[in-house]
């Protein structure tokens, strides 16, 4: 089998980018779970705000150009392919390599507040016959957020994110307020508070990514060596990677949580041919590389 054919076969099976960290141009894969909705919002008449916020976060993450984010349909297909659920991605008992083939950071959030208050003086605009009010309007949105490293199941960051917005303006009510109408949404006090929360989550993700090393997975085929990521991640010819192999997991005796992973160094490889979804590498030190070995960028 030719080298090109092997690469194409592997690309079709393993064309899933790996996770990135502080390396310039390398993109992290972020999986955005559903925002569980536990907020009281009797004033709101639109679709589930938790779903709307998850979609907003996906859009904003893509716009940064720093992350790889899968569309929901594609993610569902990947999970089905691996016989995994969203909860498996945060489960320490699920095989690390299997999880890393799906993503790198899982965002889990619970919407706890989606509030709107008004204190206005009602009236009618005689010229148009529209009921309206002028007064004070406030919106507050809060989520409980967890950022989970999918490979290790470690909770990288957990906290509440809450934002408020207030305005003195003309209000035409809340029935037309919807995630589907971008202009109306961004003009509403709750919409503005929601945007602040989403932006804060994006900033926190950027901070966490900067603190993590870049890692990927080695793939072997006869004498050929590959990494499961390529141009879409910003990998370039000449980059060097340390290849490591997990030798032991240290687990908590009661909870089973992985406290530490011990690795041994196998060798160093260098990128020689970078394509979309896959990189061909050659060994510059070491030997005995195996599919599933971890690679970390060193240059």
Per-residue pLDDT tens digits for 57-110: 999 999 998 888 877 777 888 888 888 888 888 887 787 777 777 888 999 999
Across residues 142-154, what is the average pLDDT? 88
- The secondary structure of residue 84, as a DSSP letter, is -
105-125, strands of its sheet edge to edge: 67-69, 28-37, 105-125, 130-149, 155-171
Per-residue pLDDT tens digits for 163-195: 999 988 655 456 667 787 787 788 888 999 999
The residues spanned by each domain of the chain are: 3-12+214-297, 22-210
Instruction: Annotate 5-58 with three-state secondary structure.
Output: HHHHHHHHHHCCCCECCCCCCCCEEEEEEEEEECCCCCCCCCCCHHHHHHHHHH
Residue 129 Ramachandran class (φ > 0 left, ψ -120 to 50 alpha, else beta): left
* Torsion 61-155-235-13 (CA) sign: negative
Q: Cα–Cα distance between 20 and 178 in angstroms, integer?
A: 35
Helix, coil or strand: residue 236: coil
Determine the length of the chain: 299
Per-residue pLDDT tens digits for 10-69: 333 333 333 444 444 578 889 998 899 999 888 888 888 999 999 999 999 999 988 888
Q: Which two tokens stand for residue 122?
A: 């009602």
Enclosing H/E stretch for 219: strand 215-221
Q: Cα–Cα distance between 242 and 252 in angstroms, integer?
A: 28
Q: Cα–Cα distance between 246 and 189 in angstroms, integer?
A: 50
pTM attached to this predicted model: 0.73
What CATH homologous superfamily does 3-12+214-297 map to? FlgT, C-terminal domain (2.40.10.410)
Other C-beta atoms closer than 10 Å to the C-beta of 17 total 25
Across residues 146-161, what is the average pLDDT? 88
Q: Cα–Cα distance between 108 and 146 in angstroms, integer?
A: 5
- The DSSP bridge pattern shows strands 67-69 and 28-37 to be parallel
Q: Which fold has domain 22-210?
A: Rossmann fold (3.40.50)
Q: Where does the pLDDT of residue 126 fall: very low under 50, low under 70, confident under 90, or very high at 90 and above?
A: low
């Amino acid at each position: 089998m030719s080298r090109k054919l092997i690469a194409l076969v592997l690309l079709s099976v393993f064309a899933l980018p790996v996770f990135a960290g502080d390396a310039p141009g390398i993109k992290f894969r972020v999986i955005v779970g559903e925002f569980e909705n536990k907020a009281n919002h009797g004033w709101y008449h639109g679709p589930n705000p938790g779903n709307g916020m998850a979609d907003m976060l996906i859009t904003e993450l893509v716009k940064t150009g720093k992350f790889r984010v899968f569309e929901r349909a594609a993610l569902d297909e990947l999970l089905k392919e691996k016989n995994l659920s969203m909860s498996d991605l945060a489960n320490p008992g699920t095989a690390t390599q299997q999880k890393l083939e799906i993503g790198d950071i899982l965002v889990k959030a619970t919407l706890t507040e989606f509030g709107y208050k008004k204190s206005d003086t009602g009236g009618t605009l005689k010229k148009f016959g529209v009921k309206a009010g002028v007064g004070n309007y406030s919106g507050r949105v809060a989520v409980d957020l967890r950022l989970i490293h999918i490979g290790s199941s470690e909770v990288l960051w957990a906290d509440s994110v809450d934002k408020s917005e207030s305005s003195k303006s003309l209000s035409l009510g809340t029935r037309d307020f919807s995630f589907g109408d971008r202009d109306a949404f961004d003009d509403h006090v709750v919409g503005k508070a929601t945007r602040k929360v989403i932006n804060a989550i994006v900033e926190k993700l950027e901070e966490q990514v900067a603190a993590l090393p870049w890692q990927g997975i080695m793939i072997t085929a006869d004498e050929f060596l590959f990494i499961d990521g390529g141009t879409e991640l910003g990998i370039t010819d000449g980059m060097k990677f340390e290849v490591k192999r997990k030798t032991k997991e240290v687990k908590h005796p009661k909870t089973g949580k992985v406290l530490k992973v011990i690795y041994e160094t196998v060798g160093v490889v260098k990128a020689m041919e970078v394509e979309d979804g896959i990189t061909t590498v050659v060994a510059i030190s070491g030997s005995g590389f195996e599919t599933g070995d971890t690679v970390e960028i060193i240059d």
